[in-house]
Amino acid sequence: MILVLQKGITEEEIEQLKDVLRSEDYLIKEIKGVEETILGLVGTVREDLRHYEVMPGVAKAFPISKPYKLVSRELHPEPSVIRVGPVAIGGDRLAVIAGPCAVEERKRTLEIARWVRQCGAVLFRGGAFKPRTSPYAFQGLGEEGLKILAEVREETGLGIVTEMTSPTQADLMIKYVDLVQIGARNMQNFELLKSVGRMRKPVLLKRGLSATIEEWLMSAEYILSEGNDQVILCERGIRTFERFTRNTLDLTAVPVVKSLTHLPIIIDPSHATGIREKVSPMARAAIAAGADGLTVEVHPEPEKALSDGPQSLYPEQFKQLMRDLYVIAPVVGKQLDFKYLEKAKMMGKPSEPGTKPKKVVYVGVPGSFSHKACRQFFGTEIPHENLPLFRDVFEAVQNGDATLGIVPVENSLTGSIHENYDLLLEYDLHVVGELALKIQHNLVGHPSTSIDDIKRVYSHPQVFRQCKEFLAGHPGWDLVACQDTATAVRRVKESNNREEAAIAGKDAAEIYGMTLLREGIETCPRNFTRFVVLSHGEFLDGPKNKSSLIYSVSDQPGSLYETLKIFAEKRINLVKLESRPIHGKPWEYLFYADIEVDIRDPQYRQVLEELERKTEFLKILGSYAKGFDGTDDTGFGEDHGSTL
């Protein structure tokens, strides 16, 4: 049963209500939403709904129709994000778990861990206890394998995922493991499910070989009913009559599960297909279907693997898969972040004595595209604060009120956001990162609104330009500019006027409980906004492969050409060049340039010196890493005895 609480109810009143419900033997789950707080009750309902609706502080009561209560979206409408150390599964960033099927020996396990870590995996999988069909097959190294996994975590920073096969292993799991896996064969081992429910560690629950989705969710209910709500579902293929693959990967489970439960879902394409050549295509399809992540088996010599070699990717195949996912993820509103763990480590460090706690600032309100970019780049572990103006973001970082800021600088359809380029020149800040956010615009209105009712539409001015073809079909609409898209949705929500609508993203519509009247109304679907991250100092260690510059040249024929010639002769790729007027100096210009090298690297010292000679003014805005850098500093090689 769900109890919707009255607005304005105090914490003391909520606790008093809980005490009454506990006396009636209910397990209680409190969920705070944007506009309301609800209590989910699990137990035997002995009274009619009126009994609960007259309780102090209760606005409405209604039953949960699903047999799984705690797992259901009826109880928990918002998607859950499960944290495994610094890694969040179910949020805006994809989580890729990778490693061998089984821990075989120390040296090889560490080699694989170094490789998958370099390629962007955030958790490391490896079985120490292996339930096998044959009693004569390799059963795992047991605690010795767990010790090797602990060494992997110590060296690489990767959290550890391994399978638990018996309640007697609980103490070992608590000691060594970050994410406990329940395998397909044990999905309905109810005593095991109760055991991991009491352990309070995150759990990866695989779907059984022939289990229905409802049976799978009921198994998750066992874990949650013991008090552990940190459950991640894993679809790994089900057994059918088809024999061309090991199992049949049920990708329809992704949207179905997301509609039924708040728990995140990841896909195991390795066990689903059992064939190496099929793993990457199905992994790509899984992300396109909306999965929150993957678990993939990787081995440098699969023909020698003690378990599941035929389905293990070679390291180079895994590297290529991660590059592919980096491209696919933004299309479904997510990011594959190759610096995920580095960012988490940096942001998790205590603030220096005498400095303010770490904080990130962005322009707009929750639900705006700037807010989404902030979440995708930084995650949600560090506090975020929204500010009304771009200048406010620069000021906050400059003055030390915020650790980092994120601002948009250009859109693939409408070009540069000139205000922010001018502010980059004005403030003494560094560009330390970038993110390209896929933008999808939707017409958002009240649930009862039809397009024929609309007379007024709110959004950001650039959004109107990005949706000009759709808007051209409705010339009678009055277009009203707002600070950002989420503010536009909020205004429509507060007006309660069916004649008004907004153009915004799905996040804003969900936050304010509004309806998508039309989806994808931007003129071109290849609509991306580039954001840059601002810092007073350096942000992340490690290699950088992109630099942003501002410079001016003399008013002489060929002066700009002379600067471009420097880049051309050194084979430096120039990916952006744009002129901006110099304020107060009519008809004089600055040039903003992005180049694909770290201009501060000693090997480019001569380039920088030549550029300084050929320019009248030069400012390096920053050097940073862009996306997947393709480096091969992976740990595989002669020094580690690899045969690759």
Q: Quickly tell me which residue has 């045969």 as its tokens.
A: 643
Rounded Cα distance between 276 and 568, Å, is: 42
Cross-strand partners of 411:
415, 529
Three-class HEC string of 381-418: CCCEEEECCHHHHHHHHHCCCCCEEEEEEEECCCEECH
Q: Which two tokens stand for residue 187?
A: 């999905």
End-to-end CA distance of the chain, in Å? 58
- 117, 250, 255 from 156: Cα distances, Å: 7, 33, 34
Q: Which two tokens stand for residue 530?
A: 């580039």
Rounded Cα distance between 166 and 196, Å, is: 10
Q: Which two tokens stand for residue 349?
A: 């460090």
Rounded Cα distance between 481 and 473, Å, is: 19
Contacts by residues 301-306 (CB-CB < 8 Å, ≥ 24 positions apart): 301/643, 302/276, 305/100, 305/101, 305/102, 305/104, 306/102, 306/104, 306/138
Distance of CA 556 to the CA centre of its chain: 49
Rounded Cα distance between 368 and 484, Å, is: 6
Rounded Cα distance between 615 and 608, Å, is: 11
Residues labelled as active-site residues:
529, 531
- 152, 248, 298, 317, 381 from 643: Cα distances, Å: 21, 33, 15, 16, 40
- 463, 555, 588 from 584: Cα distances, Å: 30, 16, 9
Neighbouring CB atoms inside 10 A of 528's CB total 15
Rounded Cα distance between 179 and 201, Å, is: 7
Contacts by residues 39-44 (CB-CB < 8 Å, ≥ 24 positions apart): 39/2, 39/3, 39/5, 39/14, 40/1, 40/2, 40/3, 40/64, 40/69, 40/70, 40/75, 40/76, 41/1, 41/2, 41/3, 42/69, 42/70, 42/225
